[in-house]
């Protein structure tokens, strides 16, 4: 049987990194087995729908290097891939369950449901629909339907025994049927509920493996009962523990946690984001951290997904991004980094700009950082912070190094990297300073930074006159 997975986001306009990680797992699983990766849009909650979100989701997945085999913009054999366009399908299958006696019409009003909730609150019990409409006579049901009374269709749940859920990561899970409410399958507006639409679509689209959050593990019992009611084969379930934010809480856009596009706009490379996220909750069998997409597909093993939650760490993500930036070809890097470079360069020539951007290639963690690390190349006066001042006052040889370097710079007629390097070496011989006592005072006084790229390259770009002024 060909492996078929699906990513089924809601069209809310952004994709947080927890959702993206699930998509990555689904994609790698499908491609590992030469299967198909589907995109399905779950828009049954019409109030949250954002215009243009489908194109946005395609853009995100394509940036990440995903090949979408079937979806709303490249439909395959499964018809529509947007749930709001499949309403007739859901109604057909909901009515089929009613005919089988596995579901029933529920005509309870909001007022009646509100009264039930109040009674539960008074008894300190969680609300669970009591199934009263399942006992209506055929005559009463016909009367209500003929009169146009609004209804929902509910699944008739077993109230005794257990439902077994088999999961690749968590094994066999037993769910007590007594806690399963008669869930709504079809709402009064004709839209299906999330759980019902998922099951119908996964079956009709031939989905073989379902990867989703561990927090929905208990809900899977309801899925299984629907599969059994229809007489359909169940997919393989793989539940994954959630990704927590840096504060240890669930990732959420409302909490200010970054979405994929937030990271992309800051200058994080999609391939670095994918590489980092796949290692949040999955461990390869080989001792390697940086993977290409092909390497991830080859090495992915769904049984090595962790049962434990993972914590998002932006510093670790920056480390991954740093590795990818360093390994870019210079021409590709220059084209990429110029998207993020916002300094006024109207009085600079292209050669100078390219050299400046290139000397920082091995020092960047993300794209927008280029503006911070190059800030002192675009000001006349630099500010030296407390840590740098403390260093400059830490050894009596430092003033001698600065004075000697000023003399050497003044003597340079042909301003180039070779002559600047020679000047630094002359300072070393004159003062006896070496290591950080030689290089760091020069760097701080000339550039305003304690650390940075190759010193001679940095000084060359700052310029002789500017350096003499700062010294």
Q: Identical fold at 4-83+243-314 and 386-470?
A: no
pLDDT at 16 (0 to 100):
82
Residues 6+ apart with CB under 8 A from 443: 449, 450, 451, 452, 455, 458
Q: Distance (Å, rounded) from C-alpha 367 to C-alpha 265?
A: 8
Q: Which of 50-54, 187-191, 272-276, 462-466 has the lowest mean pLDDT?
A: 50-54
Assess if CATH 1.10.10.350 describes domain 386-470.
yes
Mean pLDDT over residues 373-381, rounded? 90
The domain limits of the chain are 4-83+243-314, 86-240, 328-377, 386-470
How far, in Å, CA of 363 to CA of 453, rounded? 7
**Owner of token pair 């830490």:** 394
User: Residue 319 corresponds to which tokens in the numbers above?
Assistant: 């480390």
pLDDT confidence of 441, banded at 50, 70, 90? very high
User: What average pLDDT does this structure show over 349-353?
Assistant: 94
In the block, which residue shows the tokens 């379930």? 237
Q: Is the pLDDT of residue 46 over 70?
A: no
CA quadruple 329, 331, 332, 335: dihedral, nearest 10: 150
C-alpha distances out from residue 4 to 41, 70, 210, 287, Å: 16, 10, 9, 29
Pick one of 2.40.70.10, 3.30.565.10, 2.30.30.40, 3.40.50.620 as the CATH number of 86-240.
3.40.50.620
Catalytically active residues, by annotation: 253
Class of the CATH-defined domain 4-83+243-314: alpha beta
pLDDT beyond 70 at 47: no
Contacting residues for 50 by C-beta, under 8 A, at least 6 apart = 11, 12, 13, 56
Q: Which residues 6+ apart lie within 8 Å of 310 measured at CB?
A: 241, 242, 243, 244, 280, 281
What separation in angstroms does the CA of 311 have from each of 120, 127, 240, 258, 386?
37, 33, 13, 13, 33
Poorest-pLDDT segment among 119-123, 389-393, 401-405, 431-435:
119-123
Find the length of the chain. Answer: 471
Contact 410, 467 (CB under 8 A): no
């Amino acid at each position: 049987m060909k492996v078929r997975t699906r990513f089924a986001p809601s069209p809310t306009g952004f994709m947080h990194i927890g959702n993206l990680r699930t998509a990555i797992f689904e994609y790698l699983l499908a491609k590992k087995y030469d299967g198909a990766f589907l995109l399905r849009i779950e828009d049954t909650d019409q109030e949250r729908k954002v215009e243009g979100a489908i194109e946005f989701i395609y853009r995100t997945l394509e940036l990440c290097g995903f090949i979408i085999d079937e979806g709303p913009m490249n439909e395959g054999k499964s018809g529509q891939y947007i749930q709001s366009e499949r309403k007739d399908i859901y109604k057909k299958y909901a009515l089929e369950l009613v005919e089988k006696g596995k579901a029933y019409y529920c005509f309870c009003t909001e007022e009646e449901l509100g009264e039930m909730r109040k009674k539960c609150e008074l008894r300190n019990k969680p609300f669970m629909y009591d199934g009263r409409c399942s006992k209506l006579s055929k005559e009463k049901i016909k009367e209500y339907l003929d009169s146009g009374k609004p209804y929902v269709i509910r699944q008739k749940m077993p109230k005794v025994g257990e439902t077994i859920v088999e999961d690749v990561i968590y094994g066999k899970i037993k769910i007590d049927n007594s806690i399963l409410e008669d869930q709504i399958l079809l709402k009064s507006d004709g839209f299906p509920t999330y759980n019902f639409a998922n099951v119908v679509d996964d079956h009709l689209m031939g989905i073989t493996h379902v990867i989703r959050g561990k927090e929905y593990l208990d809900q899977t019992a309801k899925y299984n009962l629907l599969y059994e009611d229809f007489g359909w084969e169940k997919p393989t379930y793989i539940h994954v523990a959630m990704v927590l934010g840096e504060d240890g809480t669930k990732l959420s856009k409302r909490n200010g946690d970054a979405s994929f596009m937030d990271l992309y706009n800051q200058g994080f490379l999609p391939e670095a984001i994918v590489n980092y996220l796949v290692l949040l909750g999955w461990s390869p069998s080989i001792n390697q951290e940086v993977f290409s997409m092909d390497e991830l597909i080859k090495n992915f093993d769904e049984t090595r997904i962790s049962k434990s939650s993972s914590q998002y760490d932006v510093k670790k993500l920056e480390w991954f991004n740093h590795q990818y930036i360093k390994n870019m070809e210079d021409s590709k890097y220059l084209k990429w980094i110029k998207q993020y470079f916002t300094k006024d360069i109207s009085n600079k020539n292209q050669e100078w700009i390219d050299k400046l951007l290139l000397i920082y290639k091995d020092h960047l963690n993300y794209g927008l950082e280029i503006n911070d690390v190059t800030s002192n190349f675009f000001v006349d006066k630099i500010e030296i912070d407390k840590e740098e001042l403390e260093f400059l006052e830490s050894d009596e040889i430092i003033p001698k190094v600065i004075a000697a370097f000023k003399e050497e710079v003044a003597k340079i007629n042909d301003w180039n990297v070779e002559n600047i390097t020679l000047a630094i070496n002359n300072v070393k011989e004159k003062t006896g300073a070496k290591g950080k006592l030689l290089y760091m005072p020069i760097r701080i006084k000339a550039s305003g930074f304690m650390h940075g790229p190759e010193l001679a390259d940095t000084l060359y770009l700052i310029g002789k006159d500017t350096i003499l002024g700062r010294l």
